[in-house]
Amino acid sequence: MEKADKIWMNGSLVPWDEARIHVLSHVVHYGSAVFEGIRCYRPSSGSAIFRLKEHVARLFDSAKVYRMPVPYSRAQLSEAILETVRANNLESCYIRPLIYRGYAELGVNPTPCPVEVSIAVWKWGSYLGKEALEQGVDVQVSSWTRPASNSLPSEAKAAGNYLGAQLVKMEAVANGFTEGITLDHQGFVAEGSGENLFMVRNGKLTTPPLYSSILAGITRDSVLTLAQDLGIPVEQRSVQRGELYLAEELFFTGTAAEISPIRTVDRMPVGSGKRGPVTQKLQQAFFAILEGKQPDTHGWLTPLKPR
Ligand code: PPE
């Protein structure tokens, strides 16, 4: 990864190489952390953070599920995120706030350990490969099941969830694919290891519902909103595995992945095997806002420098 300058740790900005924790911190042993992935874009009006409020809200929700008392308010953490981006002089970047259980005691019970917070930013280009946004990616249906919410709550973006995600991703890569799609515990389509999934079928934009054990993606929400703006019919409903092979279009959404078309599933072409028209329309609408070519009518962008 490309180093940036400063990392915010528990209230102060420290040099990148000095942002360290003790190896006996609770998080290292038991995955006891929650986090966010946020992007800062550079429209012509100046750098701005995409949906900061919603990301900070989800971070606090994740912390609540894991009974972590966050030692800052939402407003303080939002300000700290802005401060960290400014301090690193990056016009556009990926932002990773992390709330974790630190060093005090070991043993599964995390409550004796302090709740600590860090915010790092760095340049993160295309998540699924250089050509992904235009050419699309090749995926498989994973042999791993997405845990149900009463095993690992998918509502929380918790570090431990990503052990399952790693199994999905490593299996996919070992088999020559870019990503894997998981099914939920009932066998319905859930999501990718780090992305939500959309399908176009019979001209309708369809995405699995939150009760398919998915993360409530903020890009997913943005795409649903943009589809409504564009007059594209949308539905959230359980999606069967077989529908993936019959879809006219499939694409992933996520902060890192943005809107990435899927060109094959289990080596079968999706639709024409090329990025489809609905995917392209939604990409255009999405990036037009991020690049400042269309007005930010939904109030999604928080400028780094107050206007
Ligand atoms: N599902 C999962 C499991 C997931 O991790 C993400 C984000 C999403 C859906 C999409 O959510 P949103 O970013 O709010 O639209 N994955 C983050 C981390 C990826 C990583 O490899 O790390 C991200 O995109 O930032």
Ligand 1: atom nearest CA of 220 is 15
Q: Find the residues whose C-beta lies inside 6 A of ligand 1.
A: 37, 191, 194-196, 215, 217-220, 253-257
Measured between alpha carbons, how far is 266 from 190 in angstroms, rounded to an integer?
16
Q: Helix (H) and strand (E) counts for the chain?
A: 8, 17
Give the three-state DSSP class for 299: coil
Site to probe by mutation for ligand 1, drawn from 38, 53, 195 as the one with most ligand atoms within 8 Å of Cβ, is: 195
Structure tokens at 66: 């894991």
What averages of pLDDT result for each successive group of 10 residues across the chain (307 residues)?
Answer: 96 98 98 98 92 98 98 98 96 96 98 98 90 96 97 97 98 98 98 98 96 98 98 98 98 97 98 96 97 96 85
Q: What is the pLDDT of residues 266-307, one digit of tens each?
A: 999 999 999 999 999 999 999 999 999 999 999 999 999 875
Nearest protein CA to atom 4 of ligand 1, as residue: 194
Identify the CA nearest to 220 among candidates 248, 243, 242, 199. Answer: 199
Rounded CA-CA distance 280/63 in Å is 36
Phi and psi dihedrals of 287, rounded to 5? Answer: -70, -25
Is 157 designated active site? Answer: yes
Q: Parallel, antiparallel, or unpaired for β 137-145 and 179-183?
A: parallel
Kindly report the CATH number that applies to the domain delimited by 6-122. Answer: 3.30.470.10
Which CATH superfamily includes the segment(s) 132-290?
Answer: D-amino Acid Aminotransferase, subunit A, domain 2 (3.20.10.10)
pLDDT digits (tens, 9 = 90+) for 8-27: 999 999 999 999 999 999 99
Residue 256 alpha carbon to ligand 1 centre in Å: 7
How far, in Å, CA of 288 to CA of 268, rounded? 31
The angle formed by the CA atoms of residues 155, 24 and 154, to the nearest 5 degrees, is: 10
pLDDT for res 290 = 95
Task: Return the number of other C-beta atoms located less than 10 Å from residue 304's C-beta.
Answer: 17
CA of 104 to the centre of ligand 1 (A): 30
Write the residue with the smallest CA distance to atom 9 of ligand 1: 195
Most ligand 1 atoms within 8 A of CB, residue of 61, 119, 166, 215 to mutate: 215
Distance (Å) of CA 125 to CA 2, 44, 199, 229: 10, 19, 24, 28
pLDDT for 307 equals 58
Residue 2: partners with Cβ closer than 8 Å, 6 or more residues away: 122, 123
**For the segment 236-268, what is each residue's pLDDT rounded down to a tens digit?**
999 999 999 999 999 999 999 999 999 999 999
Report the sign of the C-alpha dihedral through residues 23, 28, 30, 32, in that order.
positive
Q: Return the domain boundaries, the chain.
A: 6-122, 132-290
By alpha-carbon position, which residue is closest to atom 2 of ligand 1? 194
The residue nearest atom 1 of ligand 1, judged by CA position, is: 195
- The pLDDT value recorded for residue 34 is 98
pTM (predicted TM-score)? 0.97
